[in-house]
Chain A
Amino acid sequence: MGGLTMNTRVNPDFEKELQKYGKGNWNECFHCGNCTAICPLSEDGFLFPRNSIRTLQMGLEKKLETSIEPWLCYYCGDCSETCPRDANPGELMMALRRYLTTRYDWTGLSKKFYTSAVWEYAAIAIIALLVIVSFLVFLPLRPDAALMVNESGGVMINSLVAGVSPDRFVTLIEYGDWLMAVIVGGLLITNIFNMYYKTIIADKTVKIPLSAYFKEFWQLIYNFVTQASFSKCEKRSYWLGHLLLMTGYTIMFIIVVVFLPYFQIEEVVPVWHWQRLLGYYATFGILFFLGIVIFQRLRKNPITMKFSHASDWIFIIMLALTTLTGIILHIFRLAGMVEATYYTYIIHLAVLVPMIVIEVPFSKWSHLAYRPFAIYFSKLKLATLKEKSVRKLAPAIS
């Protein structure tokens, strides 16, 4: 018999709180265990989604906050499709990821963005406005812009701004990139540490040996690059689509943040040039994925696309706008349309910057980091768990 303080008190209000992060009939779950059993990613030590539903139904906030499980789910939808009570376990995992993102974020902004679309719109608008204003005021279009076309007929993008040399312009933008990267990265890293604290340090039941951190480190990189876990799901096309998006996005991100001087150059490189090929790959990957996702979300089918949170649409729209403005920018530039190129460039950045600043540390994109870390953490825990328990082949008689 545990003492009074040992027992956790149930909290019936928590379920209502979580409904802000996603919609599902989670209270209808009668615990048949189908979802956990059908999920190929669910394994001893990390059973989900049923466990998470139970924890949610009982309102055990602390336990949920410290759980890694939601990040291990890639939302293939098998659980929701076969759920005998239409309780939508998959959607719960999605909602929990949103919820956990807000719990990791120490600034509190994430919670604002997830629970209030107005906050998110406002934040986007302010950052977009800042970008636009800083261009129109500090980096205005050259008066003789029409001359800024190179011999191949393309717009010389770095020379468009009045009073700033092309080299300096690239450096300015690069500094901006770096600044953004530092802020975003800093926030993200502190959030990851927060996650680490909640899931590993606060969990007194496991003591992870230092060696495990090194031994399992490859998991982090490997899973980030390949999304290997996702490929274990039965619907492999989901994994391929996701991989396409992720690589496309990451490529663009790295190019823009790290290799901007090599990317944003005056001359128009040939079609087979690496930078154009990579750009096209990324554009294709993102567009392809976006097209499917928008179509599916509108049709509310498959089940994974049935419920769309405001943050889903904002993310899709922002990414779509970024990509589309990028494409238009590219076309205008090749066509030598100088003014159009300039203004499109501003719009492109006015979409891109808020998207990254908001999505990466506070919203949907953060899972790019949380997921591989969660897998890494889960492997750390498993390494200790496996040493502890011996698995019996036949189940015990109850």
Chain B
Amino acid sequence: MEEKRIGVYVCWCGTNIAMMVDVKDVSKEMEKLPGVVLAKNYKYMCSDPGQDMIIKDIKKYNLDRIVVAACSPRIHEITFRNALENAGLNPYMLQMANISEQDSWVHTDRIEATRKAKSLVAAAIRRVIHHKPLKKRIVNVHPNTLIIGGGVAGMSAALELSEAGKKSFLIEKSDQLGGTAAKLKLSFPYLNDVVNDISNLIKRVEKSEHIQVILNAEVQEIHGFIGNFNGIVKTTDEKEYSIEFGNTIVATGLKSFDAGKLKNYGYWKYSEVITSIEFELLVKQGVVVNKKGIVPENIAIIHCAGSRNENYNNYCSRTCCMSALKYANQLRNLLPDANIFEMYADMRTFGRGCEELYTSTSRKGIMFLMFDQRAELPLIKEDERGNGVVIEFKELLSGEEIQVPADLVILMVGMEAHENAKSVSHLSGISMDSNGFFIEKHPKLDPVATTTDGVYVVGSCQAPKDIPDSVSQAKAAVARILATILRGTVEVEVTTAEINADICCGCQFCISVCPYGANSFDAANDVSVVNEVLCKGCGTCATACPSGAISTKHFTDEQILSQIEGLMAKVHELEELETN
């Protein structure tokens, strides 16, 4: 075995790591390990000078393997792989040791954390010895895009693509485009009539030659990988479409919170109580009446219905405060003499022009009352003194127990993830958070991509959002997609399974465990073969293989077993040091 020349780099991450891990000690210790040519530590390895240092060292010391002990590989593996590539080294000759997220940030004892860092880095060093150069695979990108969801986000994405001359399939579950936005009369904060805007948008989408709208349809299956997806779409009348596409945009939107769950508000009990969705419908028709058909004199708008409360949804639905102010303005115009009460928790009017709307609304004789949305919610009950209901609660800004009479109560219901989010997440291989919203690749710097390359999440299916933010996200996804289409090709992961035909006994066990049908049987040679295009590199087959003929590139048994050795060797070495 030829001599390995390993370079080890330990990152301080400012004080993020250095505060809890003695990085200097770690690098000093690593220098002693076999194969290690040099071990250095530096304030920010990921910075320009940090990467430069690695590149220079590779060239100067002829390093052939690099270990970077820094943050999670999920964040910077790509960064350092690029650095290796720049230095002329195969990018897969890198192994990272996660000493921040899984060490310095979660432990409180500096000695222990340092010890743990040493064993993690030692394991990485042992592992990297077995790394092999892998060749990147470049695939062509299909120029079409699948967009799931025909709301504002989906339509905006489709149009943006269409304007760039790129085709998309716009799949909508219901029988019309427009989603939630199509139900609105006015937008906030400028209270513009949006009915025309949205219908124009729909018209543009329908007219576009580059957009194929499929209504009453759901995606049944998606296969493939970035640039090369194919899927099946089925409509309610059993029509089936088989489509090919290079990228997927998930824009399935939201569903509103079920107001019936709020036990204090008596949504099913009182004909005075309606939801914001129902109110939008009323106001679109221009007639505001309660379910008894009576024009209300006292109207209460209750914020945070189903939001910011542990018994319902813990999160904030982001748009309800502004919608509630919009309603107050609409009501004031329709019913100039009505008493309007806004019952809020925190007034979250944060967007541009929103605080200004709050101010101008407060000039319109609207009574703002604050309640505690985390403690006892307001209680709606029959009014003994009048016809309607009365809302009882402790008003926080005055500390008074008060009663608000109402003959119309509008519950500002929050946003929830769609029921079918789970099936969509399955289809497209993206994850959901505990609230059922899709998880983006990175909450800051990659708010629309997902961990699955070529699949993007936009709009309210990612988290509650207003229209402009949804549109922004939709277009952001388009930027990413256009870039891949324009380049025409994209690099894909090469960490697929590999079958050593010499060892394979032809039991075909691997074929039955593969969820992608990537393995097939070559009857002529009596062995299994892997289709690298279909294989996603999960490694299940490698583990299942009774003869050890299958290995997963970059996650070989050898690599993992030596990683375990390294991990434990350091533990014991230190333990023995201590006992002696």
**Which residues of A are at the interface with B, using a C-beta cutoff of 8 A?**
1-2, 4, 6-10, 12, 15-16, 25, 27-31, 51, 54-55, 57-60, 63, 85
Contacts and interface: CB of A to CB of B under 8 A. Distances in A.
A8 B347 contact: no
Contacts of B402: 7-10, 58
Contacts of B379: 1
B400 to A, nearest CB: 6
B359 A8 contact: no
Contacts of A30: 347, 358, 362, 368
Contact of B365 (A6, A27, A55): A27
Given A28-B362, A57-B368, A9 B398 contact: no
Give the most central of A10, A29, A63: most B CB within 10 Å.
A10
A2 B401 contact: yes
Interface string B368-406: 111000000001000010000010100101101111110
A29 B384 CA distance: 32
A29 B347 CA distance: 13
B472 interface: no
Contacts of B327: none
Contact of B392 (A7, A51, A59): A7
B362 A58 contact: no
Given A30-B347, A54-B398, A25 B363 contact: yes
Contacts of A16: 365
Given A10-B404, A29-B362, A54-B397, 16 more contacts: A7-B402, A8-B402, A8-B403, A9-B403, A9-B404, A9-B405, A12-B365, A12-B367, A25-B363, A27-B367, A28-B362, A57-B368, A58-B395, A58-B400, A60-B398, A85-B362
A2 B368 CA distance: 22
Contacts of A59: 367
Contact of B398 (A1, A7, A58, A85): A58
A57 B362 CA distance: 11
B468 to A, nearest CB: 24
Give the most central of B359, B362, B363, B405: most A CB within 10 Å.
B362
A158 to B, nearest CB: 60
Given A54-B398, A55-B398, A27 B405 contact: no
Given A7-B403, A10-B367, A57-B367, A85 B384 contact: no
Give the most central of A15, A27, A55: most B CB within 10 Å.
A27
B354 interface: no
A27 B366 contact: yes
Nearest to A63: B400
Contacts of A1: 379
A60 B400 contact: yes
Give the most central of A7, A15, A59: most B CB within 10 Å.
A7
A54 B395 CA distance: 10
Nearest to A58: B398
Interface in B226-268: none
Contacts of B397: 31, 54
Classify the interface of chain B: helix, strand, loop or mixed: strand
Q: What 9 A-B pairs have minimum CB-CB distances, sorted nearest first? A: A12-B339, A7-B403, A54-B398, A9-B403, A7-B401, A28-B362, A2-B401, A31-B397, A54-B397
B279 interface: no
A100 B362 CA distance: 26
Nearest to B405: A9
A60 B399 CA distance: 12
B341 interface: yes
B359 A85 contact: yes
A51 B403 CA distance: 18
A342 to B, nearest CB: 56
Nearest to B362: A28
A92 to B, nearest CB: 15
A58 B395 CA distance: 10
Contacts of B403: 4, 7-10
B398 A6 contact: no
Interface string B481-493: 0000000000000
B401 A6 contact: yes
A394 B403 CA distance: 33
A308 to B, nearest CB: 22
Nearest to B366: A27
Contacts of B362: 27-30, 85
A125 B362 CA distance: 42
A121 B390 CA distance: 45
A22 B379 CA distance: 36
A54 B341 CA distance: 14
A85 B355 CA distance: 11
A2 B381 CA distance: 14
A15 B405 CA distance: 17
B365 A58 contact: no
Contacts of A15: 365
Contacts of B367: 10, 12, 27, 57-59
A7 B370 CA distance: 16
Given A10-B403, A12-B367, A28 B359 contact: yes
A63 to B, nearest CB: 8
A8 B402 CA distance: 5
28 contacts: A2-B392, A4-B384, A4-B403, A7-B392, A8-B400, A8-B402, A9-B390, A9-B403, A10-B341, A10-B367, A10-B402, A12-B339, A12-B365, A12-B367, A27-B362, A28-B363, A29-B362, A30-B358, A30-B368, A31-B370, A31-B397, A54-B397, A55-B398, A57-B368, A58-B367, A58-B369, A60-B398, A85-B362
Nearest to A87: B362
Contacts of A4: 384, 392, 403
Contacts of B341: 10, 12
A278 B227 CA distance: 99
A209 B392 CA distance: 36
Contacts of A8: 400-403
B363 A27 contact: yes
Contacts of A9: 390, 402-405
B240 to A, nearest CB: 56
B224 to A, nearest CB: 52
Nearest to B298: A12
A6 B367 CA distance: 21
A397 to B, nearest CB: 13
Contacts of A10: 341, 367, 369, 402-404
Nearest to A12: B339
Interface in B405-430: 405
Contacts of A60: 398, 400
Nearest to A60: B400
A1 B392 CA distance: 9
A57 B365 CA distance: 9
Interface in B324-363: 339, 341, 347, 358-359, 362-363
A31 B347 CA distance: 11
A59 B390 CA distance: 16
A58 to B, nearest CB: 6
B338 to A, nearest CB: 9
